[in-house]
Amino acid sequence: MGSLFKKLTRSQLAIPLFALFLIVIFNLIRDPEFFSIAIATNNDGNTVLTGNLISIFNGASAVAILSIGMTLITSSCKGQDISVAAMAAIAGSVFVSVLRSNEITIPVILLAFFLSCVVAALFSLFNGVLVAVFKIQPMIATLILFSAGRSIAYWINGGATPTVSSPLLTSIGGFIPGIPIPTPIIIMVVFLILITIVLRLTNLGLYTQVVGISERTAHMNGISPVRIKLIAFIISGVCVATAGCITVCRIGLINHETLLLDAEMDVILSVAIGGNALSGGKFNIYGSVIGAYIIQALTVTLYAMKVPSAAVKAYKAIVIIVIVVFSSPVVKDFVFRTYKKLFKKQAEKEVQAKAA
């Protein structure tokens, strides 16, 4: 029991999991029905699952995907990319402009997605070059696209906010006929599996952490810090394109001004709540993803409590302060010491009992 507790408190996932657990408990006490999942028929005549749980997972998909790329950038570059949401608007615009100039079929959608991935990866690579080669601080380097990104998105579709509609797109942003789970959740799961495979089959995780902790050591052991950072930015670009395209499919149009507005801060917050140091180094992708779900769960909870939407952000901020303070080393150390004091006597007794 002691060692399990120790392992749990030391694990990076301890705080995010605990926070998630608290939100769940809070909701169960407040309203036992909160997590019930109902089967309903939607406007398109599909049998679908509905409920708060579904909307949490569904709503957090884009931020969760973005947080994967952000985690890699944070770890290797010791800083954050604040342009992800603006780049998602660019990717979304490319996606829509390709769709509008063609008849919407599955190959065209795939092509449009592929092109938006390429464009987003290139823009992200631009950030990467500034950060990795020119050694500009990430926040300053990405400030450029943070401010210019939505203007670039505006040009791509000639200043309009065109709509795209097709049953195919609805199934990407909503439900595939016959499958009751929202497609964004499925895409998120697939994405998570893919990144897990990448981390398993390559040394991306190890190299990224080594670069983030000590570039000089990385260099002395044959790892190129520049290359690793660029890889992080390229992967983040793909994440950006995916998040952007999902959001376009969900709302059926591209609005370069509002698409994923302010999402970059939620993404950075997910990374932080996930127990990752924003100063780089060790990371845990799953922590960031859980972080994204915590943020969304909070939002949904607050809405369910009928908190006016304008006030939601303030309440969210309070909870987030609590989480961040609790995961600080100061508090962790205090909890650990208190635990030791409380259970020291018990442990000694156990030792004596064993000896006897």
Partner 1 sequence: MQNHIVLSMKNISKSFPGVRALKDVDFTLRKGEIHALMGENGAGKSTLIKVLTGVYPKDLGQVFLNIDNCLREINVKSPYEAQNLGISTVYQEITLCPNLTVAENMFIGRGSYQTVNWHTMKKRAAEILEKLNIPARATQQLDTCSIAVQQMVAIARAVDMDCKVLILDEPTSSLDEQEVEKLFSLMRDLKSRGVGIIFITHFLEQVYEICDRITVLRNGELVGEYEIKDLPRVQLISKMMGKDLEDVSALQKHKPVAEETDEPPVYEAAGLSSIECSNAFDFKIRKGEVNGFTGLLGSGRSESVRAIFAADRITGGKIRVNGKDIKIRKPKDAMMQGIGYLPEDRKRDGIVEDLSVRENIILALQVMKGFFKPFSRAEAEAFADEYIKLLGIKTPSTDTPIKSLSGGNQQKAILARWLLTNPQYLILDEPTRGIDVGTKVEIQKLVLKLAEEGVSITFISSEIEEMLRTCSRLIVMRDRKIVGELNGEEMTQDNIMHTIAGEA
DSSP, res 33: T
Q: Nearest-CA neighbor of 34 among 16, 15, 55, 20?
A: 55
CA distance linking residue 100 with residue 103, whole number of Å: 7
Burial class (CB in 10 A: 0-12, 13-18, 19+), 221: exposed
Q: State yes or no: residue 20 binds partner 1 (CB under 8 A).
A: no
Residue with Cβ nearer partner 1 (228 or 239)? 228
Burial class (CB in 10 A: 0-12, 13-18, 19+), 39: exposed
Q: State yes or no: residue 221 binds partner 1 (CB under 8 A).
A: yes
Q: Of 210, 241, 273, 302, which one interacts with partner 1 (CB under 8 A)?
A: 210
For residue 72, the SS3 value is helix
Q: Of 129, 161, 214, 343, which one interacts with partner 1 (CB under 8 A)?
A: 214
Residue with Cβ nearer partner 1 (198 or 322)? 198
Q: Which of residues 89-148 bind partner 1 (CB under 8 A)?
A: none
For 282, the token pair is 């060790």
Residue with Cβ nearer partner 1 (93 or 276)? 276
| Residue 69 CB contacts under 8 Å (≥ 6 apart), including other chains | 81, 84, 124, 232, 235, 236, 237, 238, 239, 240
Residue with Cβ nearer partner 1 (141 or 204)? 204
Cβ of residue 230: shortest distance to partner 1, in angstroms?
Answer: 13
The tokens 């599909």 sit on which residue? 46
Cβ of residue 170: shortest distance to partner 1, in angstroms?
Answer: 39
Q: Which of residues 177-206 bind partner 1 (CB under 8 A)?
A: 200-204, 206
Q: Of 111, 143, 144, 213, which one interacts with partner 1 (CB under 8 A)?
A: 213
Choices 142-150, 154-162, 220-228, 263-271 (CB under 8 A): range interacting with partner 1: 220-228
The tokens 């399990």 sit on which residue? 4
Q: How many residues does the chain have?
A: 356
Q: State yes or no: residue 220 binds partner 1 (CB under 8 A).
A: yes
List beta partners, residue 38.
Answer: 50
For 20, the token pair is 């998630």
Cβ of residue 198: shortest distance to partner 1, in angstroms?
Answer: 10
CA distance linking residue 275 with residue 277, whole number of Å: 6
Residue with Cβ nearer partner 1 (151 or 203)? 203
Q: Which of residues 263-292 bind partner 1 (CB under 8 A)?
A: 281-282
Q: State yes or no: residue 12 binds partner 1 (CB under 8 A).
A: no
Residue with Cβ nearer partner 1 (3 or 101)? 3
Cβ of residue 112: shortest distance to partner 1, in angstroms?
Answer: 30
Please name the amino acid found at residue 209.
Answer: Q
The tokens 């987030």 sit on which residue? 320
Q: State yes or no: residue 209 binds partner 1 (CB under 8 A).
A: yes
Residue 101 phi, psi (nearest 5): -90, 5
Size of the residue set binding partner 1 (CB under 8 A): 23
Cβ of residue 202: shortest distance to partner 1, in angstroms?
Answer: 5
CA distance linking residue 232 with residue 75, whole number of Å: 9
- Other beta carbons within 10 angstroms of residue 258's beta carbon come to 13
Cβ of residue 52: shortest distance to partner 1, in angstroms?
Answer: 38
Cβ of residue 218: shortest distance to partner 1, in angstroms?
Answer: 8
Cβ of residue 213: shortest distance to partner 1, in angstroms?
Answer: 5
Residue ranges in contact with partner 1 by CB under 8 A: 6, 200-204, 206-207, 209-210, 213-214, 216-224, 281-282
